[in-house]
Amino acid sequence: MFCFLLTLSCKVNNSSSAGQKNSNIKKTVKIEKKETMSCLEIKNNLKDHQNDNKYPFTKGKDKEALQKNCYSFYSKQWEKYIAGSENITEGFIRKNIDRWKKIIKNPELDVKIKSINNNIAVVSRSAFSHEYEAVKVEDIWVYRMEKWDRVHGLDDNVEYSVKLLHINNDEYIDAIVTGGCCDSSTINILLGDKDKVLILRQTLEITGMWGLEYKGRCNSRFNVKPYDAMVKEYGSRPKLAVFDCRKNLYVMKE
């Protein structure tokens, strides 16, 4: 069993009432607006990640080809981020920018292949955060159409990590990408596919303490409990998302 920490954003449903008429007396009843919030939201039917393929790439499945494509892709991405920063002179920000320039020239100092599982790779690297600071992230790369290509990652201003595992009951490896900031987290669920390798199927958004309970194929669930300070808005009742093998999705359970 393993657990991650994460969080997510909440839905708000509003209810209101208007005045009522009586046959003899005209009476207005004023009811206070009530808000109901949830510390767990599940989004389905998502659009799959579309990558920018306009970078020099190398064909081949070996680790060297993967490294070359990573270096080429990230260097081009990083160059876009620091474009227009030449006039920034503020001390520590200037140091951060200079550090990025060094990484762009030598991406092998930063980009590391964390693991390769047949045609799926997890790549560790730095990403831009506030004032050009760096945070560590993990991206998913897949081998298809005779080359390695980045297929998934979260926003560059948050830390996130990747876990490869079997969520459903088929033969293909699946992935969970977790990340977040400040009291909220995002969990992306990617399921294995014969042709596309991995497909983004769901996003779980959480606000509170949570853990992933994993006991093998078709036997995993996310437990979510609101923070003590948020009980008034969210209620104290924990939320549960359980993987349903027939639907091939995580579903809410009371």
Please list, residue by residue across 215-237, b when 16 or more beta carbons sit within 10 angstroms of its beta carbon and e when fewer do.
eeeeebbbbbbbeeebeeebeee
Answer whether 0.95 is exceeded by the pTM: no
Average the pLDDT over each of 33-37, 112-116, 179-183 and give the range with the smallest value. 33-37
Q: Is the pLDDT of residue 179 over 50?
A: yes
Assess contact for 111 and 71: CB atoms under 8 A: yes
What is the Cα–Cα distance from 220 to 238, expressed in whole angstroms? 16
pLDDT digits over 118-177, tens only?
999 999 999 988 888 898 899 999 998 899 999 876 665 678 899 999 999 999 999 999
Tell me the CA distances in angstroms from 191 to 56, 75, 79, one per residue in order: 28, 29, 32
pLDDT digits over 21-80, tens only?
444 444 443 333 334 467 889 988 676 655 555 677 899 999 999 999 999 999 998 998
What are the residue ranges spanned by the domains of the chain?
A: 1-49+160-254, 51-152
pLDDT digits over 199-252, tens only?
999 999 998 899 999 999 999 999 999 888 888 877 778 899 999 999 999 999
What distance, in Å, lies between the first and last C-alpha atoms of the chain? 22
Q: What is the mean pLDDT of residues 186-190?
A: 93
